[in-house]
Amino acid sequence: MDVRLLYLCVLGSLLCPSQGKNQSCLTSASTCDECIQSGPECGWCMDPLTKTRCNTMKRLQRAGCTRSQVYNPRGELTIKRNEPADGRLILLQPQELSVNLRPGVSLDFTLRITTTRHQLINELMLETTSEPEGVNITFKKVSTANSLVFVVNVKADKCSSNNDSNQSQNQTGPWSVDIKPSGLPQSAKLKINLECQCDCLNKQEPDSPECNTHGTLVCGVCLCQKPYSGSTCQTGIDSMDSMSDAFCRTRPNAPVCSGKGFCEEGFCVCEKPHDPNEIYSGQFCECNNFDCPYNNGRHCGGHGTCECGQCNCEEGWAGDDCSCTMDAAPCMAENQMICSGRGLCNCGRCRCDPPYNGPTCEFCPTCQNRCQEHASCAECRVFGAERCEAECRDYSVTIVDTKENVPTPLCKMISQKDSCLFYFSYSSSSSAGRLTVAKTKECPRATFT
């Protein structure tokens, strides 16, 4: 019996999808095979009532297709043979594997070369034989001790077509590849198959209830028997005129195709707006790509796409109109704290705790009373004044060079001794008050008359 294992390797997940940032799927695909071959992230919805068949998983779910109804193979690894050491000096594990590859989606697995305690392993490299065209196999060594561990990555570029030049090679496998450590007699046998066809094609359901028993369900699509037609074979020639409109309404007496299209054999055909960039979609033409909130004169603020009346925001943006940036850089204060430590950063703007305000909560309009309250002790502890030790001994004082080194909120006061300006800040703790005072004063220039 085959032992199915999902190998966890230290470099990451077993399934390592290779995907482009701007992945597009063939939304006009008429078959499941055509859909999954259009891109590694493209799935096929097998819900007979759906109007959106081929798209990414995220977009199919937005269109109402549940995850269990989406055919979106990610590849599979099977360990065929993995014998124990059994007294051998050197052992390569596992000895035989099989992979089903979705083109564009890579699979990782590990190979381990183990020795007995006193057997030394020299530096080894892995080699392959008979690597099929369009399949890339790479290796990376991740650890050494009394064993060598290699992570093997297997990836296929694409499914072959009838137009490809190499017709001598099987288009989807199976292919057999030997992975062999250089200098050792042992090798691991790897069997490779490409997943270019949907296995749901082998699970056809004649006279399916999903097709009102008038057709065969194949990958979620009803192949209707004559004279029946419609997405679920719901109409026959005799009943077409009277019944077709009922299948194009969201509820009884609702507008046909939401008033944005016409009904054809129980199937909504959505009208096209004057703007070629705008479309109506959905089973009842209830969706569009332009009826979304505006911000800065653009749909979704230019930071997302409009899907069925809702904004699908780009990474780093949020909100109903995608106007809320997740970047906290605009909230960073000069003291390298978010909102000076006196508020929260929301959509790139500081929401300050009272009584603080300003772009980064650096100002405190009502803190002047506190400045006046602690000015005499700040001055006497740094610049000297009478009765200082008696009245101000509970303060903890830090002396800095200039006012630029004083944390906010900054107090600016006039010295009672020499009429110069001095700067300090005050904060409190559970034990005592804390003063930070700049030792450099700003004194007015003398004037002569």
**Does residue 356 register a pLDDT over 60?**
yes
Domain-embedded: residue 208: yes
Report how far residue 253's alpha carbon sits from residue 235's, in angstroms, rounded to the nearest whole number: 19
**Quick one: pLDDT at residue 444?**
76
Same domain flag for 140 and 241: no
Q: Which band of pLDDT confidence, cut at 50, 70 and 90, is reported for residue 238?
A: low
Q: Where are the beta strands (DSSP E) in 182-303?
A: 188-194, 215-218, 221-224, 261-264, 267-270, 280-281, 287-288, 294-295, 298-299
Over residues 202-226, the pLDDT tens digits come to 889 999 998 889 899 999 888 888 8
Nearest of 64, 88, 4, 97 to residue 281 by alpha carbon: 64
Scan for tokens 């109007």, then name that residue. Answer: 51
Q: Is the pTM of this model over 0.95?
A: no
Q: In this structure, are residues 344 and 354 in contact, taking their beta carbons and an 8 Å threshold?
A: no
- Domain with residue 338: its CATH number is 2.10.25.10
For residue 38, is it within any domain? yes
Structural domain includes residue 445: no
243 pLDDT band, cuts 50/70/90, is low
* Token pair belonging to 341: 């430590």
Is the pLDDT at 9 greater than 50? The verdict is no
Q: Is the same domain home to 352 and 428?
A: no
CA distance 45 to 179: 38
Co-location of 179 and 76 in the same domain: yes
Q: Within this chain, do residues 7 and 77 fall inside the same structural domain, yes or no?
A: yes
Q: Are residues 197 and 212 in the same domain?
A: no
Last residue of a domain, one of 201, 218, 253: 201
User: Residue 12 has what pLDDT?
Assistant: 34
Cα separation, 449 vs 277, in Å, equals 78
Residues 195 and 131 in one domain: yes
Residues 78-93: pLDDT tens digits? 999 988 766 667 788 8
Tell me the per-residue pLDDT of 367-382, one tens digit each, with 9 for 90 and over: 656 788 788 888 888 8
Three-state secondary-structure class, residue 380: helix
Range of weakest confidence among 41-50, 127-136, 139-148, 234-243: 234-243
Average pLDDT in the 298-322 region? 87
Q: Which domain holds residue 155?
A: 1-201
Residue 37: give its domain's CATH number.
Answer: 2.60.40.1510
145 falls within a domain: yes
The answer to whether position 101 is within a domain reads yes
β pairing state of 433-438 and 396-400: parallel
The distance from CA 231 to its chain's CA centroid, rounded to whole angstroms, is: 34
Q: Are 187 and 279 found together in one domain?
A: no
Residue 231 in any domain: the answer is yes
How many other CB atoms are found less than 10 A from the CB of residue 183? Answer: 11
What stretches of 99-239 show up as alpha helix (H) in DSSP?
none
Residues in the chain: 449
- Please report which confidence band the pLDDT of residue 164 belongs to, taking 50, 70 and 90 as the band edges: low
Per the structure, the count of domains in the chain is 5
Token digits of residue 351: 């929401």
Residue 447 lies in a domain: no
- Residue 165, pLDDT > 60, answer no
43 vs 254, higher pLDDT:
43
Same domain for 345 and 228, yes or no, is no
Give 188-197 pLDDT, tens digit per residue: 999 999 988 8
Residue 406 backbone class (left: φ over 0; alpha: ψ -120 to 50; beta: rest): beta
CA angle 151, 153, 156 (to 5 degrees): 170
Is 449 part of a structural domain of the chain? no
Instruction: Verify that 119 and 55 share a domain, yes or no.
Output: yes
pLDDT given for residue 2 in this prediction? 36
Residue 19 has pLDDT above 50, yes or no: no
Q: Please give the Cα distance from 274 to 257 (Å, whole number).
A: 18
Whether 1 and 77 share a structural domain: yes
282 & 298 share domain: no
- In this predicted structure, what is the pLDDT of residue 72? 92
Q: How far, in Å, CA of 220 to CA of 216, rounded?
A: 9
Quick one: pLDDT at residue 21? Answer: 40
* 17, pLDDT greater than 70: no
- Shared domain for 101 and 40, answered yes or no, is yes
